[in-house]
Structure 1
Amino acid sequence: MNIIKTSKVTGVTKSEIKFYQEEGLVAPQKNKKNGQRNYNDNDIDMIMLVYALRIIGFNIDVIKKCLNNMTYLYECMVKAVKELKTVFSEKQEIINAIGRIENREKVMDNLDDIILIANSVEDYKKENEDNYVSDKILKSFPGNYGKLIILQYGQFLTVKLNNEDKKQCFKRILKYIDNLNNFKINKNMDIMLGSLNNDILYTLRDEKLKTINSVINNNLEEIEKIKSNIISFINLSKDDEEFKKAFIKNKNKGRTLEDCLKEKSYYDNFIIDLRFISKLYDEYSKAIINIEKELGIKYDKDGLMYFE
């Protein structure tokens, strides 16, 4: 089957599947007629195994070692269970699954048990960890693509998916983003994102979160800063023709995630799901709209703000 069907069957994003290929963990054959990769049953099983091990908390290097060493796999699974004992407390089926792993000779013989453990870990993280959504995005979209999503939306996603509706909303958000096949990060942004590790990325996210909370809580100093920045931008674009031209040129040249979502007709549903998951996003959006109303802001066809 092709990558689209494989993604649906496994629940793994196309971006993550391609990452596994780049890491040499799966090697589907090419269809000579159309050049597409065909994933067979063995490829599907390997994708599911690697996906499950990543959920449990193993990085790619550890996974590669586990695939070639059953003893090491068992040791890593036992360690993971100890570190996540809250997840597995009073879950005898998980303890039994770990025991079965110890007594088998091949990694693939343990696939069902590893998936069972991974599902238990993921359910716990969804409902109890503020960083689950951000971590999931970075795993689902390896490299700079995932970093860009966190940079733009991460501050709104420090949330727990503590009911089924939120879980389904987030599942759809991942699908929308994964289907933006025509999105490319511009060169300067790509270089900048490449310089960020996850710790720096989350620090930037948390700094943005502080600002957002200040605005929502009606911090007058922060609100005045935003108003001042808007006014300065409008005056500069009105008085400096070169600045205006450069802004329009860069805007037209650098297509954003929002642009691509709109082209695919995903944007409205994406925002609806984001608002449902994140009360913070909804409140901040309303606060910015109110600020723009106070200033009498409108947007022209080029996306430039002006005073009404």
Structure 2
Amino acid sequence: MLIKDVCRECKLTKKAVEYYERQGLISPRTDSNGYRNYSDEDVAILKEIGVLRKLGIGVAEIKDILASRDKSAALAKIKFKMDLEIEKATAKKKCLEQLAKDYDIEQTITYIEENIEKHFTIKEKLLQAFPGAYGMYLCLHFGQFLNEKIDTDEKERAYNRIVDYLDKVQEIEFPKELEEFLQQGLELLEEENMEAINLSIMNSVNNTDEYIEEN
């Protein structure tokens, strides 16, 4: 099956199909005329990917699901993570509702520490500790290592040491244009394109004048 037919069958764009191919999720054969020929298995996998993506599952997790012999267990793990996110969102909503009623900051601080802080990943906490371009740069550059939660005393101590060290490092001065780029990168951040974003950011930081001229 040619790509135009695959797109119609799977309700995907050509770029999406090509992206999933680059990610190694499908491996169509290339005919002698240079056209890629997608098998029934490729089409079935693409339909599977389409469903999982619409459920908000990232490509990195989809890779794990496709490779898993126990898809129910793999999905249960993702559902557990979603449940935690829902729990965090519910706690935030409740906190906002109460704050809107009485605007009691001290009470809100206590509520956040007891009910919300435990849900934050290291990456989220770094963004709070270092607002602005510096925090965005740290999260985009090291983000793939910071998706865990601080759920032990050892992690808490390690995190505090990291923050203490970073707080003493001379802050990088980011031009306004580059700061906007970092913000856009953070908003679009997904596990599957982290490597490309990191490379783009490092090139921009190392060639600031060139980046500003081009943008």
Common fold: TM-score over 0.5? no
Output the TM-score relative to the length of structure 2: 0.40
Output the TM-score relative to the length of structure 1: 0.29
